[in-house]
Structure 1
């Protein structure tokens, strides 16, 4: 445990490089379009000074103070993200699940918009050199390559992208310094009064916050990817990243002031900082950096989905762990969904300028939900009440303003990200609500009255032996209880005779990497129960863990797994193991409230497209029998039947 903690907090060259490659793509490429969005037409000094000041203080208050200094402290044993934060505070109110669902769904929706706009803006930069280059096919080809790379793990991706992002940020700083030297007066924009004047006195200045917000859209990725890079690697690398970003923004502002009174239309101050001989190289580096920008949201999406599964907010889809490094994760089904969503966005909007309207609105909601959860976490940590209230009011005002300013994007494309987010919220709500409905309706019985019957069945030679070792997965939290459906499966749905019955219960903890188990011998040599306590980031390889437990029991002479067939027992042949997974289906004998009916119908409809639970639990390499059992919700008890003679 100590070593893992040390590894998480330690700053290393490799860790800093991986952080640069994984989490700063989105926020790091914002200089490509932020000032162009803030100053769309006539170059006005008040607009330039105010815009640069807003960017400086947004990066300082929103990214540095809220995320880098405060939110990174709310780590769940080294893991970050809105669901990790929710896991820390969920016992403080059932309503917090709605906050987590809205925030998580909005961040996933942003993950569908970020890759297309980043890659499109990059490829369109090439049009400055090759005006007739077709962008859409190139964008789709690059997205296909990027999503294909995900299966190799974020460590490989980070090491490949890290050096490239180092070149990018160094280029930002050099170009920015060139601009500042020509007009050092731009440094006055550090005064927050310029930001105040823009928002309050400049006509329509408040609505420019929607453009200013683009400079901090990648801040949530800093927190989501905490488990991939480590808190101190993020904090240390952010000093370098923020410095380079601000130097470049101030440099762009200096160039704009040099050309005040002119029309900016059709020109990008970022590229205008480049000398003519460097333009092709600069566009090439910017293209690569903007492609990398999509990595942060893709990586964060995998983390979010894995944690949502553990919290019963997402279908139990297959998770892969490409490397042995903690935090390395790949979700094949999510990778495919994100890719299809990104391609659809590219084909619908076609140009990055059209995508800007859909960009930023969803992530504002995520940031607001993070603020709510963080406020609850600060209170749980016994932080002084006045400080917590001040934090909630300050960031409620900042993010509320950003949200209002971003709402003008809704009719121009913002509805796309909100529509995607709403669909994801629907899936999460259905899955969580169905989980509680199923738990409420699952009937548990005491195991003790059935022990003698299990022993008798085990010794009944008239019943064909189903398996030497029969293993059931049970959701019963008490070791003295079992589902009625399991008893029905053993005794009535074809009697299942076995030498030893095993009942396995898997509990997911709020800590990420717990790996504990407890064995209870319910009936000597005949019935055992194993309780696994696994962290929410531990791969569910139940077959492997179960074999390890059985090996330990055999070594300690607590169980004999030799086959009880006389001919095989003499040769010390190990008996076979067979797993039974009970899969529920919606019974036709149901009469229940309309809302629950709709939820369960939606749940079972989605289930058709999801692999069965044996794959999620890592049982697909074992001998598994999947049995269908009816989920009866409030069955109709009175049936009006008349007997006729």
Structure 2
């Protein structure tokens, strides 16, 4: 019995990965609500970052031109037209892309770790800067208002709501963001009317002139880059909306963004020679009677942008866990909606990080220094992975070289320009990224160390002894069905520690022994299982093949497998106790999870010793593996087993009399 089957039964079924790939009005609204929050709120702070206190015409024209061509080259061509094609069964994002190409070189894991960590670091900076930029607009109406505390209150409320899911609120995201982008366009037209000549900034010469002839012009690329920081979200949320909906909705979004940027440029040029004095050109476009309404809409849009980043961070962590790049922390699924994921530990870390950023920088203009540096690194890593994907697709080498040269040059320039921010706050995002990179490196390195040195034995020689133990009535029965979680990839092998647990560490007599292995696939939504009968009606191995985006509810899936086997009369799960068998009572199931700890009997190489010490230090702060696998805690036994990575050398002991 070795057929591979698919799990399709109610909750055990993964949501269809292409739910929104068909182009539709609903799909376009969903795209507006989910993926454009970050890039859509950039007009709140981009021009304020580009233009210093004194407004000059060359700077405004150059800044608007640079924004236009950045959105065109970076967002439209690289992400919307090229990168969206690199979908993993309809899913996108840096880890989905890594899963497509990781077999082409072990070094690619470092690229994915750096890019993923930088993207998570961006998730700590984006909510504070978006919400702060919106709330600070209140100062035009209420001078001296303590905006910092309002921002912290909004962020706390936002993070506290995460555990309930965003199913109801999510339905309103699309219409609200449509209203936001429409407002951007209308305000932009109002600004363009003040100085129609601003449309000449379409000419890329003005961007070139700013970068080359304006003193310090090149370093302004760090501010210009803020207009495209949300481009990575377009790719990460590909599975929610589908490339068709993203590409069509982007035409509308880009038009609205550009109209607003040009409108801000028109307002700025009409005030050339003046000083901004803390004024935000975005809010300056608004008529006085509309200011409070506009600030309200901007605040809601900023909250939606923050929500999208938080949800994206949860998805990123879940993918990293299944790719063995992050500790197996507890994952919750508050609703049945696809993508609705809640990671309690990450929620707390993000909340603390966001509050710390607000308290440290206090003002959005100060946060701009920390913003952009991390996401530039993510984009560079995506470019590297995308070039490997193009090679896998047998694209012409000349085309691949041109792609790497053009986008390596563009993103390299943005990175160099952003480095000037490092002493002024950029170090914050770099420090956060380095912490996350360290955790990911430790977890992945420890995984390979354990896998390489864990002892596996052939399971076949133990089958006769297993059947004898099952029938030995002198040994108290441990469970009717005893289920072991196994990491052995070959179905003919088993960990020696499991054999030790069954026969020596309190002999565990059971009617049927089950060995369950979970294999994470490179496809996002695989849900298959394979059953191998090791000993007739006495021992079975179940191998689950689950995609890296599938919820690991092993308790539920295993029950579904057993039901299928019973229905096909391949196994009898009735209790073998004589009194209970007459009543056709189903036997109990008990799971055993082996939890390793670092033995003192080791002589490790220096680096591996540091990695493993750090690994077990982090491990003590996270939930045990049974919670990650979704096992019923009332029927789980956790057994501590020593992990002896390298045996100590022979010790000379002298016997005395």
TM-score scaled by length of structure 1: 0.98
Secondary structure of the corresponding residue to residue 7 of structure 1: coil
Deviation string for 1:126-182 (max 9, x for gaps)? 111111222222111111121123234354343222222111111110111112123
Secondary structure of the corresponding residue to residue 236 of structure 1: helix
| Residues matched between the structures, number | 645
In the other structure, the counterpart of 1:286 is: 298
Of residues 421-430 and 118-127 in structure 1, the stretch that sits farther from structure 2 once superposed is 118-127
Secondary structure of the corresponding residue to residue 358 of structure 1: coil
* Matching residue within 306, 313, 324 for 2:336: 324
The question of whether the paired residues in 2 share the 8 Å contact of 1:154 and 1:329 is answered with no
In the other structure, the counterpart of 1:12 is: 24
In the other structure, the counterpart of 2:502 is: 490
Identify if the C-alpha distance between structure 1 residues 488 and 348 changes in structure 2 by more than 3 Å, giving closer, same or farther: same
Identify if the C-alpha distance between structure 1 residues 622 and 533 changes in structure 2 by more than 3 Å, giving closer, same or farther: farther
The question of whether the paired residues in 2 share the 8 Å contact of 1:122 and 1:291 is answered with no
Deviation string for 1:409-436 (max 9, x for gaps)? 1111111111111000000000000000
Identify if the C-alpha distance between structure 1 residues 231 and 288 changes in structure 2 by more than 3 Å, giving closer, same or farther: same
Deviation string for 1:53-83 (max 9, x for gaps)? 0000000111111111111111111111100
In the other structure, the counterpart of 1:334 is: 346
**How many angstroms apart in 1 are the aligned matches of 2:78 and 2:616?**
40
The question of whether the paired residues in 2 share the 8 Å contact of 1:579 and 1:622 is answered with no
In the other structure, the counterpart of 1:313 is: 325
The question of whether the paired residues in 2 share the 8 Å contact of 1:541 and 1:619 is answered with yes
1:63 aligns with 2:75: yes
**How many angstroms apart in 1 are the aligned matches of 2:517 and 2:608?**
27
Secondary structure of the corresponding residue to residue 407 of structure 2: helix
Identify if the C-alpha distance between structure 1 residues 332 and 3 changes in structure 2 by more than 3 Å, giving closer, same or farther: closer
**How many angstroms apart in 1 are the aligned matches of 2:529 and 2:412?**
46
In the other structure, the counterpart of 1:557 is: 569
**How many angstroms apart in 2 are the aligned matches of 1:395 and 1:155?**
37
Identify if the C-alpha distance between structure 1 residues 402 and 174 changes in structure 2 by more than 3 Å, giving closer, same or farther: same
**How many angstroms apart in 1 are the aligned matches of 2:539 and 2:297?**
64
Deviation string for 1:561-599 (max 9, x for gaps)? 111111111111111111100000000000010100000
The question of whether the paired residues in 1 share the 8 Å contact of 2:46 and 2:227 is answered with yes
Secondary structure of the corresponding residue to residue 543 of structure 1: helix
* Matching residue within 521, 526, 539 for 1:509: 521
In the other structure, the counterpart of 1:407 is: 419
Aligned-pair distance for 1:334?
1.2
In the other structure, the counterpart of 1:124 is: 136
The question of whether the paired residues in 1 share the 8 Å contact of 2:371 and 2:429 is answered with yes
Of residues 417-426 and 318-327 in structure 1, the stretch that sits farther from structure 2 once superposed is 318-327
Aligned-pair distance for 1:480?
0.8
Aligned-pair distance for 1:402?
0.4
In the other structure, the counterpart of 1:148 is: 160
**How many angstroms apart in 2 are the aligned matches of 1:222 and 1:453?**
56
Secondary structure of the corresponding residue to residue 542 of structure 2: strand
In the other structure, the counterpart of 1:383 is: 395
Secondary structure of the corresponding residue to residue 357 of structure 1: coil
Secondary structure of the corresponding residue to residue 46 of structure 1: helix
Secondary structure of the corresponding residue to residue 437 of structure 2: helix
Deviation string for 1:531-552 (max 9, x for gaps)? 1111111111111111111111
**How many angstroms apart in 2 are the aligned matches of 1:437 and 1:237?**
46
Secondary structure of the corresponding residue to residue 9 of structure 1: coil
Secondary structure of the corresponding residue to residue 529 of structure 1: strand
Deviation string for 1:586-621 (max 9, x for gaps)? 000000101000000000000011100001111134
**How many angstroms apart in 2 are the aligned matches of 1:41 and 1:148?**
38
Deviation string for 1:59-110 (max 9, x for gaps)? 0111111111111111111111100000000001000000000000001011
Aligned-pair distance for 1:330?
2.1
Aligned-pair distance for 1:6?
5.3
Secondary structure of the corresponding residue to residue 499 of structure 1: strand
Aligned-pair distance for 1:291?
2.5
The question of whether the paired residues in 2 share the 8 Å contact of 1:154 and 1:299 is answered with no
The question of whether the paired residues in 1 share the 8 Å contact of 2:18 and 2:90 is answered with no
Q: Within 5 Å, give how 1:63-142 maps onto structure 2.
A: 63-142=75-154
In the other structure, the counterpart of 2:492 is: 480
Q: Which runs of 5+ in 2 are unaligned?
A: 1-5, 7-13
Q: Within 5 Å, give how 1:591-630 maps onto structure 2.
A: 591-630=603-642
**How many angstroms apart in 1 are the aligned matches of 2:313 and 2:182?**
28
1:444 aligns with 2:456: yes
Identify if the C-alpha distance between structure 1 residues 190 and 60 changes in structure 2 by more than 3 Å, giving closer, same or farther: same
**How many angstroms apart in 1 are the aligned matches of 2:333 and 2:235?**
20
The question of whether the paired residues in 2 share the 8 Å contact of 1:22 and 1:299 is answered with no
Deviation string for 1:512-555 (max 9, x for gaps)? 11111111111101111111111111111111111111111111
Cα-Cα RMSD: 1.5
**How many angstroms apart in 2 are the aligned matches of 1:88 and 1:63?**
22
In the other structure, the counterpart of 1:263 is: 275
**How many angstroms apart in 2 are the aligned matches of 1:317 and 1:222?**
27
1:210 aligns with 2:225: no
In the other structure, the counterpart of 1:348 is: 360
**How many angstroms apart in 2 are the aligned matches of 1:309 and 1:5?**
20
In the other structure, the counterpart of 2:549 is: 537
**How many angstroms apart in 2 are the aligned matches of 1:503 and 1:66?**
46
In the other structure, the counterpart of 2:410 is: 398
**How many angstroms apart in 2 are the aligned matches of 1:176 and 1:478?**
62
Identify if the C-alpha distance between structure 1 residues 535 and 3 changes in structure 2 by more than 3 Å, giving closer, same or farther: closer
The question of whether the paired residues in 2 share the 8 Å contact of 1:125 and 1:287 is answered with no
The question of whether the paired residues in 2 share the 8 Å contact of 1:8 and 1:78 is answered with no
Secondary structure of the corresponding residue to residue 559 of structure 1: coil
Secondary structure of the corresponding residue to residue 506 of structure 1: strand
The question of whether the paired residues in 1 share the 8 Å contact of 2:125 and 2:370 is answered with yes
* Matching residue within 643, 646, 656 for 1:631: 643
* Matching residue within 169, 172, 175 for 2:187: 175
Moved over 4 A (4+): none
Deviation string for 1:21-51 (max 9, x for gaps)? 2221211111111111111122221111111
Q: Which runs of 5+ in 1 are unaligned?
A: none
In the other structure, the counterpart of 2:45 is: 33
